[in-house]
Structures are given as structure tokens and as C-alpha cells.
Amino acid sequence: MSEKIYGQFDLDTVEKLADIVNSRNLGEITIIDGDREITVKGKKCPPPPPAMPPMAAAPAAVQQQEPAAQVLEKSASAVSGNQVKAPIVGTFYAAPSPNDKPFVTVGQQVKKGDTIFIIESMKVMSEVQSEFDGVVKEILVNDGDSLEFDQTVMIIG
């Protein structure tokens, strides 16, 4: 008869459980049989889950973004010309697809009605047309940037 550990499980069972834990790099294994229970822990325990960031971090990030928007507005007013503003909140795309060339570039001549960029909002792509004739003097955002309503996107002079 094999030796029992604490009168519950035999040594062969415990050794087999230990082999399973080691061979599969488990942190631990627990076996419950009626009122009997045994836990075998391995040498390597899985790392604890990453800590959740504190809730106060989100407002700090928003506060950091506000000065960047102010810098863009200052930059927009530094260059003379007509400001093209975002008509809706969304994501700015300079080209119809990632592999295509941009609709417009700095120095390019545009006419009223020309498509100059796309805003994606709620999975809907909306083409934005120029309201002005002129030359693109400055593009104030990068492809993939989030846009706020009425944010200056580019200057046409």
C-alpha cells in the first residue's frame, strides 16, 4: 500500500501532479475530490496581472492635449490665408487610402469644390471640399490625427 499524505492523497498522485505542473510550466494545480483537496505549486508562478492605471491619469492626458491644440491655433493664425476648419469631429485622412497619394500637399493649387481631405466619423468617410480657390500654405494636422469640431486643419491662401 502506498504512503498517504495527511491521510488524504497517496505520494504517487502528488508526484504525478508535481510532474504535470513542472512539465507544463504551470504556477499551480488544485485537485478537489469530494472533501479532499490538494494544491501543488510550481517554482514559476505566473506574473500578476498589470495594475490598472489610476483614474486621475485620463484628465491629465486631456490637459496635456489642450496646449497642443492652442499651439495649432496660434500656428494657423501666424500664416495668413483662409482657414479650413473641420466640419465634424473625427479622424483626419489626407488620402483616399493608405497607399494613395494625398489629396493636397503644401504649395499645391486648389479650386473651390476640390476634395482636400477625408474625415472618418463613426465608420463613415466624409470628403471635405475646399471652400476657397488658392494655394495650400500649411497643413496643421497629420494623417490619422483626431479632429475636433471647428479645428483649423489647413490654410489656403
Instruction: Kindly tell me if the per-residue pLDDT of 145 is higher than 60.
Output: yes
User: How confident is the model at residue 93, as a pLDDT?
Assistant: 94
130 neighbors 114 (Cβ within 8 angstroms): yes
- pLDDT band for position 63 (cuts 50, 70, 90): very low
pLDDT in tens, 64-83: 444 444 444 444 446 688 99
Residue in this structure with the C-alpha cell 492523497, named with its chain if needed: 9
What mean pLDDT comes out for the span 97-102?
91
**Residue 13 half-sphere exposure, CB side, CA atoms within 13 Å?**
17
Residue in this structure with the C-alpha cell 495649432, named with its chain if needed: 72
Question: Rounded to an integer, what distance in angstroms lies between the CA atom of residue 142 and that of residue 139?
Answer: 8
Q: What is the CATH number of domain 78-156?
A: 2.40.50.100
2 neighbors 9 (Cβ within 8 angstroms): no
User: How confident is the model at residue 74, as a pLDDT?
Assistant: 46
pLDDT in tens, 81-96: 899 999 999 999 999 9
Instruction: Kindly tell me if the per-residue pLDDT of 148 is higher than 90.
Output: yes
Instruction: Kindly tell me if the per-residue pLDDT of 137 is higher than 70.
Output: yes
User: How confident is the model at residue 60, as a pLDDT?
Assistant: 45
| C-alpha cell read off for 97 | 487610402
Instruction: Kindly tell me if the per-residue pLDDT of 102 is higher than 80.
Output: yes
- What percentage of the chain exceeds 90 in pLDDT? 42
| C-alpha cell read off for 54 | 489610476
Give the residue with greater pLDDT, 36 vs 109: 109
Domain boundary assignment for the chain: 4-41, 78-156
Edge-first strand listing for the sheet containing 90-93: 124-129, 115-121, 90-93, 146-147
Give the residue with greater pLDDT, 78 vs 105: 105
- What percentage of the chain exceeds 70 in pLDDT? 70
Instruction: Kindly tell me if the per-residue pLDDT of 25 is higher than 90.
Output: no
Q: Concatenated DSSP letters for 52-112?
A: PPPTTHHHHHHHHHHHHHHHHHHHHHHS-SEEEE-SSSEEEESSSSTTSPPS--TT-EE-T
